Structure 1
Amino acid sequence: MRKLISYLFISVDGVVEAPDRFLRDDLYQDLAPLDDTIGEQDAVLLGRRTYEEWSAFWPQSDIQPFATFINTVPKYVASKTLKSLAWPGSGLLPGKLRDEIAALKRQDGKAIGVHGSISLVQELLVAGLLDELKLVVCPAIAGQGRRLLSREGEPIQLDLQTVRTTPGGLQYVVFRPRSARP
């Protein structure tokens, strides 16, 4: 069964929106583990808002290695409002999220990545559908922007899998969410 893995940049104060605002230029050389992450994935799951932003940006981008990756892998878009998708390799998941994710996980292949898509990652965490939460903790306080972990409700328990600190101070932290269901 395929795994569903989220990969997000996060500031010390929990902001995940617009990481280009808080990821310093001198830390880009520390992003080598991104190659490992995209190497283990052969599909991407996106929410509507991220799809709309990324489909306008990435097809013309030459920011490597992510541009080649995101433009060539299948992209599944969870949306109840979009009716069509123009970005080549994109498919719409209009049904119930739990059922759509279960069907994707049953397919043959590598892991499915969830990049960006803050609301979607929150929903996947709460529903117990995410297999790994990979965070790149940036040594910055963003001060404003959407936070991943601001939510009401029961705590979501996580098991720490690995932590790695780069020479520039980025921390790669991998958590495995404990299932909300037995």
Structure 2
Amino acid sequence: MRKLKLQVQTTADGYMGGPNGEMDWMHFPWSDDLNAYLDALTKPVDTIVLGRKLAEGFIPSWEARPEGESQETIDWMNDTPKVVVSGSLTESPWKNATVVGGDLAEAIGELKARPGGDIITYGGSTLAQSLIAAGLVDELHLIVNPTAIGTGLPVFPATGAVQRFQRVDIQPFECGITALCYAPARS
């Protein structure tokens, strides 16, 4: 079965966006060691899963071929098939993207059961929290920025229950960011 990786940029205090989704807290420029880490993380990936709100900015941004990104990264982001999770769309307005709706666990379970490489999701917050709450994430990659914002969109859902994880890896980078990789602690 394919592995679902969730990669999110987060603040040191656990938010993946400000109260209105602001991302001005992100730490740049990234160092070469962080870029190499992210390249290795995505190397086995052949599918990207996005929530609709994130897809609306993410897909057009990469299609516009942003300055400062390597041609290899731009090509990978544009060429990798995307699955957009949406309760409102029935078909994709983007090329190289399909839309799934309905039961999230069923849709992701079917995607994970197909042959292929790893799957990565970048969120947004509603999708990330739903995937975590449903126990669908196999690896959680928190890219922790050295900033705190006090309030915002949390990475983890408020389930009312303790969510346990086991550490897979911790990697600090020259730019001050630290990657934390966890897997759900399965009983």
Normalising by structure 1, report the TM-score. Answer: 0.89
Aligned counterpart for 1:173 among listed residues 145, 165, 180 = 180
SS at match of 1:25: coil
Partner of 1:31 in structure 2?
Answer: 35
Structure 1 runs not aligned, ≥5 long: none
8 Å contact kept, 2:129–2:157: no
* Aligned length, in residue pairs: 180
Partner of 2:65 in structure 1?
Answer: 61
Aligned counterpart for 1:42 among listed residues 43, 46, 49 = 46
Per-residue CA shift, 1:104-129, capped at 9, x if unaligned?
11111111001132111111111111
Question: Hey, what's the Cα distance between the residues in 1 that align with 2:108 and 2:145?
Answer: 30
Greater alpha carbon shift after TM alignment, 35-44 vs 139-148: 139-148
8 Å contact kept, 1:128–1:178: no
Q: Quick one: percent identity of the two aligned structures?
A: 26
8 Å contact kept, 2:82–2:98: yes
1:26: Cα distance to partner?
3.6
Per-residue CA shift, 1:37-56, capped at 9, x if unaligned?
11121001111111112233
Note closer, same or farther for the CA distance 1:167–1:54 as it changes in structure 2 (3 Å cut). Answer: closer
Question: Hey, what's the Cα distance between the residues in 2 that align with 1:178 and 1:77?
Answer: 27
8 Å contact kept, 2:133–2:159: no
8 Å contact kept, 1:10–1:19: no
Does residue 82 of structure 2 align to residue 79 of structure 1? Answer: no
8 Å contact kept, 1:9–1:19: no
1:100: Cα distance to partner?
0.9
8 Å contact kept, 2:5–2:140: yes
Aligned counterpart for 1:21 among listed residues 24, 39, 53 = 24
Greater alpha carbon shift after TM alignment, 96-105 vs 10-19: 10-19
Question: Hey, what's the Cα distance between the residues in 2 that align with 1:19 and 1:40?
Answer: 30
Normalising by structure 2, report the TM-score. Answer: 0.87
Aligned counterpart for 1:145 among listed residues 152, 157, 180 = 152
1:150: Cα distance to partner?
5.4
Query: RMSD over aligned Cα, in angstroms?
Result: 1.9
Question: Hey, what's the Cα distance between the residues in 2 that align with 1:73 and 1:133?
Answer: 20
Greater alpha carbon shift after TM alignment, 47-56 vs 7-16: 47-56
Question: Hey, what's the Cα distance between the residues in 2 that align with 1:161 and 1:80?
Answer: 33
